[in-house]
Amino acid sequence: MTKRIEIVRPDDWHLHLRDGDMLKAVLPVSAGLFGRAIIMPNLVPPVRDLDDLRAYRGRIEAALPAGSRFRALMTLYLTETTDPAHITQGAASGDLTAVKLYPAGATTNSDAGVKDIARVRPVLEAMQEADVPLLVHGEVNDPDVDIFDREAVFIERVLTPLRRDFPDLRIVMEHITTQEGASFVGEADDKLAATITPQHLLINRNDIFRGGIRPHFYCLPIAKRENHRQALRKAATSGSAKFFLGTDSAPHPVGNKECACGCAGIFNAPVTLPYLAQVFEEEGALDRLEAFTSLNGPAFYRLPANEDRIVLTRSAPDETIFRNIDAGADGQVVVFRPDIALNWSVAPA
Ligand SMILES: NC(=O)N[C@@H](CC(=O)O)C(=O)O
Ligand SMILES: [Zn+2]
Ligand SMILES: [Zn+2]
């Protein structure tokens, strides 16, 4: 049995760091484990233009532990009033890594998102021209579409026409949760890739209701049936360069999760890497973990892989990784803990 693996330091291609006290509390966790992260722009108010983006990056850099080499890769929040000139400028200056599309109302802090994709065509043209990737929260927000079908319907209604109209636009389907998502991406050309979260490899929709309602297993897109979880495990461990890690680590104050209308988002940054080692071991694919966590993402974003490495060992993890994070005035944050024995830990640096 493998006891120890050493891999190129991972990156997180989908991360929510928030702002203020929450940012200060959660950033050291990601910065201690990952080399870089794509920073999601769904602040309140969102990161709408390059001034917002540079100011937010400044707050992130100011909150980094001394000596940290972590790099925040910044994104803009696409709205129906986004100025295409900002895309061109942000790409030229190197400040802008990608643009995020939230269908209005589809998820946490998406109210300022896009209602009618036709209105953002000029921005998409500028992105295609400047080769800036579009990151999509791939769910329709149509009340007539069942919550478990929203990703599959998004592929039909939005993503397929988008790919036809913008064949050279590079797109990441974020946090895929379905068999349909995995095959759509798997069969597409190399302009389309997908991130996969640890939770969608670990839990299915039954886990959200096992023994009672479990708010810390609720995120969007919501976990689906077991056959979908199996399809995602196959995709992640396949070695295909189109699939890479985006944790979607999304901290919320515990009071906003454990209440009558708990919000969507799972905080998993402290436990993602050990759980992924567990999944890849179960799938007999530990030799492909590095591609998923550390190589495929940089290749898609046309960046070099990180130069340093981390070590994972087959040993019961230190319980402290599950400890609530204290975000000061923003309250406590509960760490994702599925009912699965965990046999891996990240070795101290
Ligand atoms: N995934 C989630 O359930 N929540 C994310 C938003 C998102 O990534 O959709 C958040 O910002 O809390
Ligand atoms: Zn999302
Ligand atoms: Zn997210």
Ligand 1 centre and the CA of 15: distance in Å? 9
Ligand 3 centre and the CA of 291: distance in Å? 21
Residue nearest to atom 6 of ligand 1 (CA): 108
**Greatest extent of the chain over all pairs of C-alpha atoms, in Å:** 55
Smallest Cα–Cα separation from 88: which of 100, 80, 76, 72? 76
Q: Is 281 close to ligand 1, i.e. is its CB under 6 Å away?
A: no
Q: For residue 279, what pLDDT is reported?
A: 98
Residues of the chain with pLDDT under 50: none
Is 16 marked as a binding-site residue?
yes
Is 17 marked as a binding-site residue?
yes
How large is the ipTM?
0.99
Q: Is 101 close to ligand 1, i.e. is its CB under 6 Å away?
A: no
Tracing tokens 């923003």 back to the chain, one arrives at 330
Ligand 3 centre and the CA of 211: distance in Å? 27
First and final CA of the chain: distance in angstroms? 23
Q: Is 137 close to ligand 1, i.e. is its CB under 6 Å away?
A: yes
Q: For residue 1, what pLDDT is reported?
A: 77
Closest ligand (CA of 264): 1
Pocket test for ligand 1, best of 12, 40, 47, 107 (most atoms within 8 A of CB): 107
pTM over 0.95: yes
Neighbours of ion ligand 3 (CB under 5 A): 248
Smallest Cα–Cα separation from 335: which of 345, 346, 348, 325? 325
Q: Is 16 close to ligand 1, i.e. is its CB under 6 Å away?
A: yes
Alpha helical stretches, state H, 171-313: 179-187, 198-202, 226-237, 254-257, 272-282, 289-290, 296-301
Q: Atom of ligand 1 at shortest distance to CA of 102? A: 9
Is 42 marked as a binding-site residue?
yes
Show the tokens assigned to 262: 């708990």
Closest ligand (CA of 138): 2
Ligand 1 centre and the CA of 12: distance in Å? 15
Neighbours of ion ligand 2 (CB under 5 A): 107, 137
Q: For residue 281, what pLDDT is reported?
A: 97
CATH of domain 4-346: 3.20.20.140
Q: Is 221 close to ligand 1, i.e. is its CB under 6 Å away?
A: no
CA distance 286 to 10: 14
Residues 6+ apart with CB under 8 A from 62: none
Is 220 marked as a binding-site residue?
yes
Q: Is 247 close to ligand 1, i.e. is its CB under 6 Å away?
A: no
Smallest Cα–Cα separation from 31: which of 306, 266, 265, 236? 306
Q: For residue 293, what pLDDT is reported?
A: 98
